[in-house]
Amino acid sequence: MRARANWFAAVIAVPLSLALMGCSLFQKDEDYVPENPADMLYNEGLFLLNTKQDYKEAAKKFDEVDRENPYSEWARKALLMSAYAYYQAEQYDECVNSAKRYVTLHPGSPDAAYAQYLIGSSYYDQILDVSRDQARADRAIDALQEVVRKYPNSEYAISAQKKIAMARDQLAGKEMDVGRFYLNKRDFVGAINRFKVVVTQYQTTRHVEEALMRLSECYVALGIIDEAQTADAYRLVKTAGGEPTTENKGSWISRAFQKMGLATSQNG
């Protein structure tokens, strides 16, 4: 939220200096006369956004700048302000469309990082509870990872990483929800497959300990005692805050945690 506030405080200072220059400076087609001056539309949008907090109408004004003055510097600024206004209005599809267009047209802009962050945040804010489809969580992770990858030194990277972690926790929660369903139906193989995803793909989430406990239950029910003991041993050590070790080196659980430990040491 503070990153968004900092960006907005910086961008609202732009129109005064641009207004002094006049919109004709940016006009490519000398025969084209826009119905409304770009600076007037832009400032009307800022007024609606900042003073009236009428985000939907503000977004329409910024869109009008882009339509009537498509080659101007005003259009570039208005496009991002449109995405921001749509985000504030919780019109997330429109926000994503405007922000994606900005990133495509202005990839080298200092504000491209914020536009990409808006894309990820729009998907993130639409994540549903774990009983529902989690497609938006996947999209949020993909978009926010672009922020971290392309703009690692931007002020939005840390916030993006936090949202990625929470979205991954949500995906793990979905796997747990389905796994419990299979377990209640005594479909132990189906349950194991879901809990296995949590242990192998979402080891840093809060669901790992329960996943290991459920795996132990499933393996006991199937009579696979070695795997049950391994899952239980890892769960107990994880609960105590230690680093799991076990003698059952052939277990997929052991290999999963060994792989995680190797990846952690390499990243460190």
Q: Which two tokens stand for residue 160?
A: 């993006």
Determine the Cα angle at 143 with ends 137 and 147, to 5°.
135
Question: Could you please report the per-residue DSSP string of 94-125?
Answer: HHHHHHHHHHHH-TTSTTHHHHHHHHHHHHHT
1 assigned to some structural domain = no
How many domains in the chain? Answer: 2
What's the confidence (pLDDT) of residue 249?
A: 65
For the chain, first and last CA: distance in Å? 29
What's the confidence (pLDDT) of residue 35?
A: 63
What's the confidence (pLDDT) of residue 210?
A: 96
- Does 247 score more than 60 pLDDT? no
Please report the beta strands in the chain, taking only residues with DSSP state E, as ranges in sequence order. Answer: none
Closest C-alpha among 48, 45, 36, 57 to residue 15: 45
Same domain? 156 vs 192: no
pLDDT tens column, 40-70: 999 999 999 999 899 999 999 999 998 998 8
What's the confidence (pLDDT) of residue 1?
A: 55
Same domain? 140 vs 207: no
What's the confidence (pLDDT) of residue 41?
A: 93
The phi and psi torsions of 162 (rounded to 5 degrees) equal -65, -40
Segment 85-99 mean pLDDT: 98
Same domain? 61 vs 101: yes
Domain encompassing residue 205: 186-267
For 108, other C-beta atoms within 10 Å of its C-beta total: 5
Q: Which two tokens stand for residue 12?
A: 């609202």
Same domain? 147 vs 197: no
From 162-171, 211-220, 259-268, the region with the lowest mean pLDDT? 259-268
What's the confidence (pLDDT) of residue 257?
A: 83
Question: Could you please report the per-residue DSSP string of 226-259?
Answer: HHHHHHHHHHHHHHTT-----S-TTSHHHHHHHH
Segment 76-99 mean pLDDT: 97
Higher pLDDT, 238 or 55: 55
Closest C-alpha among 254, 180, 189 to residue 223: 189
Same domain? 44 vs 129: yes
Same domain? 133 vs 197: no
Same domain? 152 vs 194: no
- Does 230 score more than 60 pLDDT? yes
Instruction: List Cα–Cα distances, 245 to 217, 225, 235, 250, 258, in angstroms.
Output: 20, 17, 11, 12, 9
Segment 78-93 mean pLDDT: 97
